[in-house]
Chain A
Amino acid sequence: MKQFEYARAASPADAVRRFEPGTMYLGGGTNLVDLMRLGVAQPDRLVDVSHLPLDAIEQDGDRLRIGAAVRNTDLAAHPLVRVRYPMLARAVLAGASGQVRNMATIGGNLLQRTRCGYYQDVTRPCNKRRPGSGCPAIEGDHGNLAILGASDSCVATHPSDMAVALAALGAEVHVTGPGGDRVIPMPGLHRLPGDTPERDTVLEPGDLITAVELPAPPPGPSIYRKVRERASFAFALVSIAAALDLRDGVVRDCRIALGGVAHVPWRAERAEQALIGGQATGEAFLAAAEAELELARPLPRNAFKVPLARNLIVRTLEELAS
């Protein structure tokens, strides 16, 4: 690990003031410290934002505001989240381990980096880590990488479970930074790799996530389901966050987001559009899934994710419809 300076921020404004090139914000540290030890992250300076008073979960009418420093455990255990946003509680509980959830913050969870093996190994090429060095995963180890929205530069996936639920819920990410405050609606925080895979998100240097605000929960039942070969403590092969609102067998509203398939938590808008206003039948669910997965460009060793995602969409919708 490279030597660095450490300072605790007194307030969000203080954190932003302390930011200069080479600075990184330290939240729970569960991914950043991991990446620093691997040599993937090499900050000159850490500004610790984990102690900022951003750790409240507050109700605001039918909305819920979650401070960026709220720990994953506390989010999933919060009575309002469990009752009103079960999809989110389940997504958080599906991620990592009890220990990691106790440490990891909401802001940090959103800003996790990919677990692609090439990205994590500084002795191998990776366009995300070293722009222009190449993407060996495309010909190599991509068994758990992206099938949707990938590019010739990068086939990484975003590892977060929570972000998938937030994408389905249409959460808003509150950011403060050198350019002032702004609000970024999910799933717009994360970006596809294109030819600049080094950028995971639309955040600018010095931007600090201060809160995540949830709109009123979508009507109807909701689900988060995660597929993995180890029964716990494993990243998703594919996961799904979905909500379905039916009236008289007709889909009034529908939210579908997929994890483990793309560089972003993938909001399945094509599938949603195909369903809304139509009959909630098995055929319609399959057609919607296939409409979405027409966009898939699988590689030889991750091609299984296409039938997996299709099955998961169909089965999840069937379950929500019943």
Chain B
Amino acid sequence: MKRTLRFQRKYLCIPYVIFLILFIIIPILLIIFYAFTNKQGFFSFDAMIDFFSTPTKISILLNSLFIAVQTTILCLVIGYPVAYFLANKKYNKNGVLITLFIMPMWINFVLRTGATRDLLTWLGVNGGNAPYFATLVGMVYNYLPFTILPLYTAMLKLDKSQIEAASDLGARPVQVFTRNILPQSLPGIISAATMVFMPTISSYVISDTMSEGKITLFGSSIYISFSNNQWNTGSFLALIMLIIIFISMLVTHKFSNEEDTVRGGTW
């Protein structure tokens, strides 16, 4: 029997599989390898012991988590009402307003952050006198479009008759919101929170630019480790970040599993 190599549709995946192996699987394995070896290349827990015994490194991690949580909450608090009104055809005719809101996403975020810093400096608030506030402003400004978009898609799907039904059954306007609109938009909230939390926890360009180097976040400490040739420490920190993101994904996935996974439109 003669075998011929016939084209099959699954071969179309090959480029991506190569990409996956080269740029995702091998780097992860490398990170794990470096995280649990010492400079001589022998198996060791040095990096782990070093991390857990250095209070500054742990405080950097906690600080980053705190900023990420704050950014996420602020983005949701600002983005939720905005998305609610944008989803109303009365205010957002032809989708002009929503385009204005997501337009900043078209500009590279490094440029955007630089501009934000200059604007804040002009207003008299900058990394010099309020590094923490400036960082938070930079973060919220950068990730707000990522919150609005999934929330907006969720709001578009709000079932108006359910809102009427709640009101009909005796729910006051506040109760209509807490018992119907909020649960209905929960998938959007979760996906918005994920969209903000995961990148903020690892970002360092924004904090470096906005605080003028005064605030070191977890991402920056990884960057510093690698640039100082501390590959093992850097890898271990990167591993910790991977685990945190993985856990946060598990949590959000568990939430959104109960609803039909309604992710933001573009993702």
Binding between chains A and B = no
- Enumerate chain A interface residues (CB-CB to B < 8 A): none
- Enumerate chain B interface residues (CB-CB to A < 8 A): none
